[in-house]
Chains A and B, each alone.
Chain A
Amino acid sequence: MFDFLEGYDLWAAFWTTVKLTALSAVGSLIWGTLLAGMRVSPVPLMRGFGTAYVNVVRNIPLTVIIVFTSLGLFQTLNINMGADDFTTINFRLAVFGLTAYTAAFVCEALRSGINTVPVGQAEAARAIGLSFTQVLTLVILPQAFRSVVGPLANVLIALTKNTTVAAAIGVTEAALLMREMIENEAQLILIGAVFAFGYICLTLPTGLILGWVSKKVAVKR
């Protein structure tokens, strides 16, 4: 029944999806945290930059960003992300695009987490003479991170699903393989079921595990 799978490397395709997700997740967590720091900082210029970045990037379709990394950055401006072969270049461009896009959502999730920390915490920290950086890194962010595990898990799940967009610039992940298989094989429904199952296997456990973690680490108030 499943002999149409022969000749296709399903594992490699889903492994690329996982790699895209993991690398972009780490990148966007770092960049998103920096952006969130900027958005709440006392320096007006940094606040302005953070706000502008989030509002612009969040409102551009991810597809436009990903296609731009290939057509604009690589083919027009010859930025090759330090790689020589097309496979690596496209992969890195996709990670770059996904990171730039997802960071805006990580920033917003974190910022809403910062808002859940009671005012008294920041006031107490300031009263004992901590600077802005100390207030943020020692008191506010540790509590904020604990309360945003749930929202961040949703960003991660959305990111997992968004990696399919990398197919638009030829990264050989699951969605591209699916399109190829649909073109060549007759078992349309079965192919659809296999890939749907694959994505459910990736997203459902992430949601359940991180949902459990978010309840575990939530600050009881």
Chain B
Amino acid sequence: MTSVLYDAPGPRAKRRNILYSIGFLVVLAAAAYWVYTKLDEKNQLEWVKWKPFFTDSRPWETYIWPGLENTLTAAAFAMLIALPLGAVFGIARLSDHAWVRWPSGAVVEFFRAIPVLILMVFANAALAEFTDVSSEDRPLYAVVTGLVLYNASVLAEIVRAGILSLPKGQSEAAMAIGLRKGQTMRSVLLPQSVTAMLPAIVSQLVVIVKDTALGGAMLTFSELLASVRPMSAAYGANTIACFTIVALIFVVINFILTTFASWLEGRLRRGKKSTGAVVPVAAVAGTQATGAEH
């Protein structure tokens, strides 16, 4: 790969690059060695501590799969509820009526400015006080509520950006053939903007999956991260091994989603059938005053 920042390397640059590579490799090796001695010192590298994950199905069946199931359940519920809610608020922010536009704008900006954890903790307490959700279901409800409030407002911005990304000619043509505002939105703008929004929505799913871990750490929601403590207690204090496995699972899931999102984005940009309009994965962050999507 050549970049505009440097020329294709000649003989001298090639030698220099090899030298840099060796130097960097030495630094990396030194760091790796330091990590190795630290782990070895505390007996974290013993095969006994890693073996359960490779030779035994019980840690997977008892801790990891149920945890992962809860993580994915919460993420799926949050996405399914937040999406329509976000669409409503996103469209409301584009309304011609100030009395619809302003309040929905205020709600969106409010929930985007507040940390998800605060929303979750508040939802947890509110559910305990004002509803009769049983105490074992409450963490799931609280996590989903917090995620929905935050992500619906982020999705509202994505929907708004998606509709605004369409060429003006689309709504003008709809108006010219006599469609009303609602009809224009329903049958012309929304169907086209959905494809434009897809990459951004998929990458928002990554944020949701990651944020479910908050419930495990703060609300006793038994998701994937929360399975680390009982698991390391059951298999001889193999904390490092447990964290490695859990982190790997998150990385694999989210990496697949991220790759899928950028593949979609590239496909839409190149596509001939659509208008070519697309909400870039990072663009929603650029237009807002009060928050980014991570």
Contact = CB atoms under 8 A, between A and B. Distances in A.
Partners in one complex: yes
Given A40-B3, A135-B6, A207 B289 contact: yes
A144 to B, nearest CB: 11
Interface of B: 3-7, 9, 13, 17, 20-21, 24-25, 28, 38-39, 41-42, 44, 110, 113-118, 121-122, 125-126, 129, 206, 209-214, 216-218, 225, 228-229, 237, 239-240, 243, 246-247, 250-251, 253-255, 258, 282, 285-286, 288-294
Interface string A105-124: 10010001010000100110
Given A76-B44, A135-B5, A151-B285, 17 more contacts: A40-B3, A43-B21, A45-B24, A46-B21, A55-B258, A64-B246, A114-B5, A132-B6, A154-B292, A157-B292, A167-B218, A174-B118, A182-B122, A200-B113, A203-B113, A203-B290, A203-B291
A113 to B, nearest CB: 11
B290 A60 contact: no
A36 B29 CA distance: 21
Contacts of B25: 45
A165 B117 contact: yes
A136 B9 CA distance: 17
Contacts of B243: 64, 68, 71-72
Nearest to A156: B292
Q: Which of B125, B212, B288 has the most CB of A within 10 A?
A: B125
B71 to A, nearest CB: 9
A123 B285 CA distance: 30
B122 to A, nearest CB: 5
A98 to B, nearest CB: 12
Contacts of B291: 154, 157-158, 161, 203, 207
A44 interface: yes
Interface stretch (A5-13, A23-31, A83-91, A188-196): A188-196
Contacts of A157: 290-292
Contact of B250 (A61, A140, A178): A61
A216 interface: no
A155 B213 contact: no
A4 interface: no
Nearest to B206: A59
Contact of A40 (B5, B247, B286): B5
Contacts of A62: 210, 213
B25 to A, nearest CB: 6
Nearest to B209: A61
A150 B115 contact: no
A56 B118 contact: no
Contacts of B228: 67, 71
A168 interface: yes
B290 A42 contact: no
A158 to B, nearest CB: 4
B115 A199 contact: yes
A40 B258 CA distance: 21
A77 interface: yes
Contact of B292 (A44, A67, A155, A175): A155
B3 A42 contact: yes
